[in-house]
Structure 1
């Protein structure tokens, strides 16, 4: 089937009180691993590309790979821009074939964040593309975007209410204690803040930086209203582990397929586990 907007996937997740996994891709093997896992679990899935992925693979390659994957599977697939930093970049992704974009205006004051989000929404709505926005700053590093831990600001519930009332975005990423990249210790999530935000906002909530968050905390966040969970670091770890194991077994191997094949399998195993934790398995 063709790529679908993220909005209906999250609307169904809202009804069913589960979350849809959003998995970052950088190359063909990762796209194939995501699709194989989604098919095995009969789950809708969001494939997303970050700034670094677009720079590395090229926007046309990412769109082509994901479109081919979507057209040859029975599970619904959305292609989403992760952490779009400007109006122009969101427009480029929409023109290139993305079915969903994120405009991350969290670095701006609330009024400016609302304004840039509405600029993106005006175009995206006209062409059936869904929009995610961010309020509050999520710490850590996501490719080229770095937020120092001291500068990571939790989302203010009243700001979230105003933001959603004045934009009507399809999903809102909030900062409640997660971080991009590998955690130094166990993250402490502010569940009371999440609960308060959800009570004020009738909107699918997005949890970024979820790779190192314990399973029970992910489940609790979903119970409290998270409907999209982003996973990147865990896939990188599985990819590298698979390659290392293949090289260790045969140090003289020169066939890339025999090195990347095990990496793809490792990633699919991780993604299947995440899908079951999120509760989206069997929802197709």
Structure 2
């Protein structure tokens, strides 16, 4: 990654990257970042391909950082401005209005507003209000319909549980009435999966793609095998969210490093191998998705 304080480039926007990917029937990868090492690894992995990328910060990550968005946001903005590939910033799974209202002032071009836990009518009303606020400030906004599951330690829903899949007719009405720019759909993936065993409902994806005129987003992609991911992109998924795969790479690298060096106390040693492992995971995911700079 090139680090030259005098050579910065403007951030791109999530909307631009997703629009470009949709036109090419491809997908843009959006990686959840928690630490500066995550940020550096995502950009380094994207530069190695090379491919555009989205850095996304979740409300859970902000909570982990003491409820303060600005420090990590500023680090991400600075790293993105020195990247050799297009980089956008996205605020992910936001439920707090206070956090939503910080997005426009700290470098984020997009927000995923998450009211999917609410009954349909309440989800729609809350999302419509968030869309109105976001669009007035030039922000691209994503929402979720159906329950992807696996957030905050909750298990994924059974495939046949009510609400476990996104209904195409309901989704069509939701998109029209809410005004969202993209929709995350529940088609069989789950958040926080550490094994790649998810089986996607490609027939449902085909129905959703035909029913909706906005880009479709796949959450919980860390648990989706390569073939399922490429089929999902071919079927209409345009933004692919990846988070747990980076944490698996980071944690595994640190465990191995400390097992071999029980006397180690300098974090730079194990954070270096952790960052390298995440960089490889990013590059691999981008190659699976076929994400490149046209």
Decide: shared fold, TM above 0.5: yes
Whether 1:251 aligns to 2:262 is: yes
Moved over 4 A (4+): none
The Cα of 1:278 is off from its aligned counterpart by 1.3
Tell me what 2:99 maps to. 89
TM alignment of 1:88-127, pairs within 5 A = 88-127=98-137
Whether 1:33 aligns to 2:41 is: yes
Whether 1:7 aligns to 2:18 is: no
Q: Provide the alpha-carbon RMSD of the alignment.
A: 1.8
The Cα of 1:253 is off from its aligned counterpart by 1.8
Note the residue ranges of structure 2 that are not aligned, 5 or more in a row: 1-8
- Give the Cα–Cα distance (whole angstroms) in 2 for the partners of residues 218 and 95 of structure 1: 34
Deviates more, 1:43-52 or 1:79-88: 79-88
Q: Do 2:113 and 2:141's aligned partners in 1 also have CA atoms closer than 8 Å?
A: yes
- SS of the equivalent of 2:223 reads coil
Q: TM-score, normalised by structure 2?
A: 0.90
- Give the Cα–Cα distance (whole angstroms) in 1 for the partners of residues 268 and 164 of structure 2: 43
The Cα of 1:115 is off from its aligned counterpart by 2.0
Whether 1:235 aligns to 2:246 is: yes
- SS of the equivalent of 1:149 reads coil
Q: Do 2:216 and 2:237's aligned partners in 1 also have CA atoms closer than 8 Å?
A: yes
Whether 1:213 aligns to 2:224 is: yes
The Cα of 1:281 is off from its aligned counterpart by 2.1
Q: Do 1:5 and 1:129's aligned partners in 2 also have CA atoms closer than 8 Å?
A: no
Note the residue ranges of structure 1 that are not aligned, 5 or more in a row: none
Deviates more, 1:178-187 or 1:40-49: 178-187
Deviates more, 1:240-249 or 1:258-267: 240-249
The Cα of 1:46 is off from its aligned counterpart by 0.8
Q: Do 2:26 and 2:233's aligned partners in 1 also have CA atoms closer than 8 Å?
A: yes
The Cα of 1:205 is off from its aligned counterpart by 0.6
| Number of residue equivalences | 281
